[in-house]
Amino acid sequence: VEDDENQLQQLQQQPLYGGVITKNNITLPQHNDEIIHISVDIGGTLTKLVYFTKSSSNRKNSSRKTTGGGGGGKLHFQDFQTENFKNEAMKFMIKLIQKSINKSNINPPITYIMATGGGAHKFYNLMKKTFKKHKLPMKIIAKDEMECLIKGLDWLITKIPQEIFTYDLTELTTKFEPIQSKKEIYPYLLVNIGSGVSMVKVTKPGPEGFERIGGSSLGGGTLWGLLSLLTDAKDYNEMLEMAQNGDNENIDLLVGDIYGTNYNKIGLKANHIASSFAKVFKKLRKFNSSTNSNNNNNSDNDSDGKFKKLTAAEKLAQFKQEDIARSLLFSISNNIGQIAYLHALRFNLKRIYFGGSYISGHMQTIHTLSYAVNFWSKGEMQSYFLRHEGYLGSVGAFMMGPAPILEENGNSSNENNHTNNVKIANGVQH
C-alpha cells in the first residue's frame, strides 16, 4: 500500500467552544516488518478502519531485501457510514488490498481482515462473497468486540504519547498525560459511547481482566436519530457544529429560572440545568396563547369554535435548530457522565476513560462529560479522553492480527511527538 504523505496536524489546546481535537495518523519510524492485515470495527452507525503503510524509504529498502534500519511507516485511520458499508468501506478495503497485491512481487500482500464489532458477524458473508468475486485471497478473522476495545485502549495508554488527555474545567483547556506502564493503569472504567453505551471495568490485561458492568441505550445513535428528526443537519459533524453555535438556555429550564439565583445550600449554580427541554412546553403554551388571543375573531377558529393546534413543523419553527442540538447534546452527555460516575462509585474506580465516536474530539462533549464526573464525584474521580477515541476496537483488532506483538521499547513518532515502538513480527494466527 502506498504511503499517504499528507502533513499531520498537531493537536492544539483549544478553549471550550473552540472546536475539535484533531486525530493524526500514528507514525512508527522503527517498525520495518511486513504487515499483512488490516482491521475494521463495524458498529451500528460507523465503520472504523485501521491500516499500516510503509514510508517511501522503507519501501525502497524492502525492494533491496534489506532488514532493519528502514523508514518505518504509519497507522492510518478511516471511518465510513455503516449503512453504506458495501459501497464505501468494502470498496476502500478492496482498493487497499489490490494496491498491496500489485506491489507484492517481493513483499507479501495484505491477506487478512481482522474484523470486530457487531457488523463483523452481520457482514461476514458479504465480505467473503465480495472478496471471492474480486478473486482476492482474503481470510476474515472475527475478534471479540470488548477484548478489542481493551486491547486498543491499553496500547494507546502505554505506547503512544500525546494520546491521552484530561480537560481542565477552570482553564477550559486540554492537558496531555504522560505514557504509563501497564502496572500503573489498572483498575479503570472504560465508557465506550457509540450508538449505545457500554461500561467496562478493567482490572488487568487479557480477556480475564475485564467485565461489562453496565451501559445505556441512550448514546450517539440517540443524538443522531433525534437531531435527524428535529433539525436539517445531514451528518453527525454538522449536528456537532450546530450544537457548538447554539444556546441551550432557550430550551432547558435552569436552576436560576426556578430560584432566581444559585441554590448554594445543595451546590447548584444558577446556570445548572434543572430540566432538559422544559422551556419548550412553556414557550409553546405562551406562543399558543398569544396567537389565539390575536386571532380571536378571525377565521383561524375551527368549526367547533376551538383554536387550531400547531403542527409539528410550526412548533419546531419557534426554536433555533442550533439551540435544540446543544440542549440534546448536553442532555445525553450529562446522563452518560452521571451513569459513569455511579458505576465507578459502585466498584471504587477513580479513573474513567471515555471512548467511542460519539465524542469525536468535540470540546462541548468533552467539557460536559468531565463536568458531570467532577460534579457528582466531588473531584475524586478523573475523566480521561483520547485523540483516537473512536478507533479503540479497530486498533485492538489490528494489534491482534496474524503477527504477534513484541512489547519492545523504541522511538516512534507522530511527526515531532515521540512514542514507544511497537514491533510486529511475522507469525501465524492461532
Residue 6, pLDDT above cutoff 70: no
Give tens-digit pLDDT for 143-162: 999 999 999 999 999 999 89
Q: Could you tell me the fold of the domain covering 26-161+391-424?
A: Nucleotidyltransferase; domain 5 (3.30.420)
**Residue 175 vs residues 171, 190, 328, 389: alpha-carbon distances, Å:** 10, 19, 27, 16
What is d(CA 126, CA 117) in angstroms, rounded to the nearest whole number?
15
For residues 253 and 278, the answer to whether their CB atoms sit within 8 Å is: yes
* Average pLDDT of the residues in 182-202: 96
- Confidence band, pLDDT 50/70/90 cuts, at residue 173: very high
Q: Where are the domains of the chain?
A: 26-161+391-424, 164-251+319-386
Query: What integer pLDDT is reported at residue 110 of this predicted model?
Result: 85
pLDDT > 70 in the chain, percent? 80
pLDDT given for residue 266 in this prediction: 87
Residue 10 pLDDT: 30
Question: What mean pLDDT is predicted for residues 161-177?
Answer: 94
With a pLDDT cut of 90, the percent of the chain lying above it is 64
Residues 361/21, Cβ–Cβ less than 8 Å: yes
List, for residues 211-261, the tens digit of each pLDDT value: 999 999 999 999 999 999 999 999 999 999 999 999 999 999 999 999 999
pLDDT digits (tens, 9 = 90+) for 36-70: 899 999 999 999 999 998 876 555 554 433 333 44
Q: 18 pLDDT exceeds 50?
A: no
Which residues share a beta bridge with 50? 39, 77
Question: What rounded mean pLDDT belongs to the chain?
Answer: 83
Is the pLDDT reported for residue 16 higher than 50?
no
pLDDT for the residue 109: 83
The C-alpha cell 486525530 sits at 23
- In this prediction, residue 88 has a pLDDT band, given cuts at 50, 70 and 90, of very high
Q: How distant, in Å, are the alpha carbons of 77, 163, 388, 391 from that of 22?
A: 12, 11, 9, 13
Pick the more confident residue, 144 or 7. 144
Q: What confidence tens digit (pLDDT) does each residue in 263-319 have?
A: 988 889 999 999 999 999 988 988 877 766 666 655 555 545 455 688 999 999 999
Q: What is the structure's pLDDT at 22?
A: 66
pLDDT at 104: 63
CATH of 164-251+319-386 among 3.30.420.40, 1.10.150.530, 3.40.50.11260, 2.40.100.10? 3.30.420.40
Nearest to 349, CA basis, from 161, 206, 200: 200
**Is the CB of residue 157 less than 8 Å from the CB of residue 185?**
yes
User: Hey, which residues does 273 pair with through a beta bridge?
Assistant: 254
The pLDDT confidence band at residue 343, using thresholds 50, 70 and 90, is very high
**Does the structure show a pLDDT above 60 at 350?**
yes
User: For every residue of the chain, which 3-state class applies, written as one string?
Assistant: CCCCCCCCCCCCCCCCCCCECCCCCEEECCCCCCCCEEEEEECCCEEEEEEEEECHHHHHHHHCCCCCCCCCEEEEEEEEEHHHCCCCHHHHHHHHHHHHHHCCCCCCCCCEEEEECCHHHHCHHHHHHHHHHCCCCCEEEECCHHHHHHHHHHHHHHHCCCCEEEEECCCCEEEECCCCCHHHHCCEEEEEECCCEEEEEECCCCCCCEEEEEEECCCHHHHHHHHHHHCCCCCHHHHHHHHHCCCHHHCCEEHHHHHCCCEHHHCECCCCEEECCHHHHHHHHHHHHHHHHHCCCCCCECCCCCECCCCHHHHHCCCCHHHHHHHHHHHHHHHHHHHHHHHHHHCCCCEEEEECCCCCCEHHHHHHHHHHHHHHHCCCCEEEEECCHHHHHHHHHHHCCCCCEECCCCCEEECCEEECCCEECCCCCC
Give 322-341 pLDDT, tens digit per residue.
Answer: 999 999 999 999 999 999 99
